[in-house]
Amino acid sequence: MQSYEWETAEEINQQLAFRLKRIRKRRGFTQQTLSEMSGVSYGSIKRFETSGQISLLSLTKLAIALGCTDEIRHMFTDVPYRNIEEVIHERR
């Protein structure tokens, strides 16, 4: 059965940014401190937290600095098969 996502990519990214912002604040870091720790520019962090836009490399650097590498490392690892055709295609 086909599953439909009603959220846009932008909405999903914004939710991700909100969650990382909460983690940053929980750890007691300012955007500037996180910038210095991660090597991601202050402007990129500010843009990410307001718009959800960030490169994958910068997102990974932020996750490392915040101690959330497992969340990045395990993304897409337990995606279930939707049908038998996916099992067949994977084996090719």
Helix (H, G, I), strand (E, B) or coil at 30: coil
Q: In the CATH scheme, what is the homologous superfamily, with its name and number, of domain 9-75? A: lambda repressor-like DNA-binding domains (1.10.260.40)
Domain ranges of the chain: 9-75
Question: 74: which 2 tokens?
Answer: 């395990």
Query: Residue 25: phi, psi to the nearest 5?
Result: -65, -40
Model pLDDT, residue 78: 87
Quick: pLDDT tens for 15-74: 999 999 999 999 999 999 999 999 999 999 999 999 999 999 999 999 999 999 999 999
Return the C-alpha torsion angle 66, 13, 57, 19, nearest 10.
Answer: 0
Does residue 5 register a pLDDT over 80?
Answer: no
pTM of the model: 0.84
